Amino acid sequence: MSSVSILSKMKVIEGSKAIAETVKVCRPHVISAYPITPQTHIVEELSKIVADGELKAEYIKVESEHSAASGCLGASAAGARTYTATTSQGLLLMAEVLYNIAGMRLPVVLTCANRAVSAPLNIWNDHQDSISVRDTGWIQFYAEDNQEAVDMTIQAFKIAENPAVRLPVMVGIDGFLITHTVEPVELISQDMADKFLPPYKPQIYLDVKKPISMGNFADPGSYMEIRYSLHKAVEGSKKIIRDVTKEFEQMFGRFSGDLIETYNIENAQTIIVGMGSIVSTLKEVSDDMKARGKNLGVVKVRCHRPFPDEELYNALKNADNLIVLEKAISLGQGGILGTEIRSLFMEMENPPRISNFIVGLGGRDIPKSAIEKIVLRAEKSPVPFEFFGLNPEVLGGEI
């Protein structure tokens, strides 16, 4: 039996509790949290863990998500390893503080249980919440399943706290589809976590013995340069993300990370792109089609910020048809991920034909049959942009 097997344990567990168990072994000093569906089980489980003495941490119960983020900002600025979780309207309420955390280069880790935003009120999954704050300066990951959510969480701390990065990291997990789903998960033992993630030793933090200022006022003579530096830091984090992925694979025997993941793309004339739990369905469709003699490649965007432009270009450039599925929308413009991918091929002489579909908003099911219909339509003629699967009855009979 390998050392990995000895020091890790497989457990059938809800996604939220698996994440809480992983946060525990990461030994955060401060957890600042406010409950909101569907992330409540994460912070509820962490409150029990702290109360039972399994984790020595300060658990701050606050009156809003804005306060939860503010608590993380203050604790991180003081040199503490910090964690929080939120979703939907809660994440949007945090937006002001999210910009400050990134601008102050504080390595906070946040789990976003992705959920639709109001109005109308909806508690089911899509990616509108985290996509809406993609420009805050946070690194953004999206998990495909419970195991990846666990693996990404411990990697998030290691990436965020790397001296060459010093940026906050947001791990997106699809609400209910991951948070409330029970699956076999290989949890990370405390011994293995301690070997992978050493104690946090911040280089810059508030100390009365060595006073510094953070988040200062910047006039027009310096503000632009500071934002440029933040942009370069987010871009530069790609190397650290890859390095941490390799280190994680060497220690745990699972390649669970990196910027993108490819599946069956060799000799595939059509490649379909997605983020989050939908990728599992895309892989099943790919396998079904392969069994029928048709190649359908799948590319998972695991890291949306920094945007993996070069990696996506190299993975997609040889396809005839690209299909981008996304669970978010820039109202009045179209698909966000689709637009970003389309921009990669602006200067290519014979670019792939690109189709962009908005799917699954507000938790609407995306069955394999729907994916196959999308593939057949896009291969027949590219669809620049479309809301797929609209219900004409809801729209009064007109689409």
Q: Set out the domains of the chain in order of their start, with CATH numbers.
A: 7-252 (3.40.50.970), 261-395 (3.40.50.920)
Q: Provide mean pLDDT across the span 350-378.
A: 98
Whole-angstrom CA distances from 197 to 159, 210, 251 are 10, 27, 11
72-91: per-residue pLDDT in tens? 999 999 999 999 999 999 99
Neighbours of 347 (CB within 10 A): 7
What share of the chain in percent tops pLDDT 90? 96
- Please count the helices (runs of H) and the strands (runs of E) in the chain: 14, 15
If residue 368 lies in a helix (H) or strand (E), which one and from where to where? helix 368-380
* Beta-strand relationship, 82-86 and 30-33: parallel
9 or 130, greater pLDDT: 130
Residue 2 has pLDDT above 50, yes or no: no
DSSP code for 200: P
Report the pLDDT value the prediction gives residue 5, as an integer from 0 to 100: 43
Q: Max alpha carbon distance in the chain (Å)?
A: 69
Residues forming beta bridges with residue 114, ordered by sequence position? 174
- The pTM score is 0.96
CA angle 22, 25, 26 (to 5 degrees): 90
Report the pLDDT value the prediction gives residue 8, as an integer from 0 to 100: 63
Residue 6 has pLDDT above 50, yes or no: no
365-375: per-residue pLDDT in tens? 999 999 999 99
3-state secondary structure 11-62: EEEEHHHHHHHHHHHCCCCEEEECCCCCCHHHHHHHHHHHHCCCCCCEEEEC
Note if the bond before 102 is cis, omega within 30 degrees.
Answer: no
| E runs forming strands in 327-373 | 353-358
Residue 307 has pLDDT above 90, yes or no: yes
